[in-house]
Amino acid sequence: MKEKLQKISEEALSSINLSDSLDALNEVRVSVLGKKGALTGILKGMKDVAPEDRPKVGALVNETREKIEEAVNERKSKLESALREEKLRREVIDVTLPAKKIKIGHPHPNTVALEEVERIFIGMGYEVVEGPEVEYDYYNFEALNIPANHPAKDEQDTFYINKDILLRTQTSSVQIHIMEGGKLPVRMIAPGRVFRSDEVDATHSPCFHQIEGLVVDKGITMSDLKGTLEGFAREMFGDDIKTKFRPHHFPFTEPSAEMDVSCFKCGGKGCRFCKGEGWIEILGCGMVHPHVLEMCNIDPEEYTGFAFGVGLERIALLKYEIDDMRLLYENDNRFLEQF
């Protein structure tokens, strides 16, 4: 038995010293010390050794195992050290080479326009509020005075998850959440993504951004609405801008209007940018419908308010004179770097 153990030890130590890689070394270790290894086989045969000889044989086996394990660990350490040195040699960095040019990004045109709108309204005392993009039909339509089968739903055909849940078509739904909270007065804008089943073209997208504004307080009138939006237009597009309000219809406001600004490219004379009209439509607005206030448990006899909604992309397109909305989403650096 002693001769057999000595032979296993000599062969193992020789193979260990000849191992030129960690994988080869591991193969040697497994062939000797593994479950089916030569040394393990001797341990399994201990039952055939005479009882009085087992302590001596066991001691010899353990001594051989320790010697082989020590040799494996020593060889492993040398191989790993050699690998590290080779890796450091291959991966050396030449600090004298010119560095790669670091490209620093900048805000997207939509982000720039949104920050400008938020700055203007925060300066007027408004709060910026966000709401869920996946919304209940009640908040998106019914609470905004658009009941089931109302024609206005056709104009805002959207993506339904089921009959009661949809992707919001407008951020006006955030106004309902805020008014239901019962904390009055309210002065807020609600920017965010909205979704409508529109075909993609130069002025439409199934996903775009909208900014809704709401004021609810005692004694709010149409004059407050006009003064606020005129101030916003001048801050956004310049002090020379003129505004006009045209009667319109929105289910959730009464009276309702659309607001135009004089063309800031031609000064209202008429050009390609304003299609020869001298005016550019930028948003819809109106006094909050009494029924909308009632549905939010607000007494329309005591409180009044106004609301408005503007497309963020429309603001960006006008402000930067971009003629195709798709350019905002194509991630073409040649376009984005202009801003």
| Higher pLDDT among residues 67 and 172, named by residue | 172
How do residues 86-130 score in pLDDT, each as one tens digit?
A: 888 887 777 787 878 887 788 889 999 999 999 999 999 999 999
How do residues 15-50 score in pLDDT, each as one tens digit?
A: 888 888 888 888 877 877 777 777 676 666 666 666
Q: Which amino acid is at 196?
A: R
CB 210 within 8 Å of CB 310? yes
What's the fold here for domain 109-336?
BirA Bifunctional Protein; domain 2 (3.30.930)
Mean pLDDT computed over 248-271: 86
Residue 59 has pLDDT above 80, yes or no: no
How do residues 163-222 score in pLDDT, each as one tens digit?
A: 889 999 899 999 999 999 889 999 999 999 999 888 888 778 888 999 999 999 999 999
Mean pLDDT computed over 304-313: 93
For the chain, give the mean pLDDT.
Answer: 85
Q: Is 213 helix (H, G, I), strand (E, B) or coil?
A: strand
Mean pLDDT computed over 237-246: 89
Confidence of residue 269 (pLDDT cuts 50, 70, 90): confident
Rounded distance between C-alpha atoms, residue 129 and residue 310, angstroms:
15
Confidence of residue 284 (pLDDT cuts 50, 70, 90): very high
**pTM (whole model) above 0.85:** no
| Higher pLDDT among residues 187 and 332, named by residue | 187
Percent of the chain with pLDDT over 90: 36
Omega of the bond prior to 206 within 30 degrees of 0, cis?
no
Residue 153 has pLDDT above 70, yes or no: no
Rounded distance between C-alpha atoms, residue 37 and residue 54, angstroms:
20
pLDDT (0 to 100) of residue 26: 81
Domain edges within the chain: 2-90, 109-336
Q: What are phi and psi of 37, to 5 degrees?
A: -75, 165
pLDDT (0 to 100) of residue 173: 92
